[in-house]
Amino acid sequence: MKRLRLLLVALLLWLPLLAIAQQTADASAAYRVDTGDAWVDTQLQDINHYAERYPDSFLDEVARYAGVPRDYIAALFYTHKWQAGDIYFACFWAKAIDHSCRDSVKAWSRAVPDEGEPKRWADVIASLPTAPTNLHWRALRHAIVASHDHWDRPVTLDATLKRQLGDRAARDRAAATR
């Protein structure tokens, strides 16, 4: 009987992780992000849509390439109902500035916008201890392109990214030589 109770408690603790993703089409359609970079904002909205359909792949990508425990980001996604784009940005921005994803999450959670104003990542990153530089933005933008490539999802590159990374075939060739 004691084992049965323990099994039941364990099952109840895992239930939120087994639930269907909270990333819905309505949530993605309503999602607005303001990082201060219009290209990044567009891609984060696309990442939201991707996570609606492939939540496990999204979580695996962030865990593997941002170096964040999967259980942590799964809790943000399922239990705390964070938008996938916000999770992605928090974790990959933290990686770009050499901080932990938890630092970005805490900064976002502490942010209190002016009355009637939405939270903005642009304000949150300005409050972090590392001032944003072009190299940080470049690292984030390259990570976004790499994620789209991993997902075999199309991504439109701006002129700078085309110059830096080339087309998809060039990126695939470069990845094969690593």
Tens digit of pLDDT for each residue in 154-166? 999 999 999 999 9
Name the band, by pLDDT with cuts 50, 70 and 90, for residue 15.
very low
- Cα gap 161→142, rounded to integer Å: 8
End-to-end Cα separation, the chain, in angstroms: 54
Q: Where does residue 76 rank: exposed (0-12), middle (13-18), buried (19+ CB within 10 A)?
A: buried
Name the band, by pLDDT with cuts 50, 70 and 90, for residue 20.
very low
When comparing pLDDT for 71 and 177, which is higher? Answer: 71
- Asked whether the predicted pLDDT for residue 81 surpasses 80, the reply is yes
- Asked whether the predicted pLDDT for residue 6 surpasses 70, the reply is no
pLDDT of residue 27: 60
pTM over 0.85: no
- The answer to whether the CB of 81 falls within 8 A of the CB of 26 is no
130-140 pLDDT, tens digit per residue, is 999 999 999 99
pLDDT of residue 175: 81
- Cα gap 55→77, rounded to integer Å: 9
- Cα gap 78→91, rounded to integer Å: 16
Mean of pLDDT values over 133-153:
97
Q: Where does residue 131 rank: exposed (0-12), middle (13-18), buried (19+ CB within 10 A)?
A: exposed
pLDDT of residue 53: 95
- Asked whether the predicted pLDDT for residue 21 surpasses 70, the reply is no
Q: What letter would DSSP give residue 171?
A: H
pLDDT of residue 3: 56
Q: Which residues contact 82 (CB under 8 A, 6 or more apart)?
A: 76
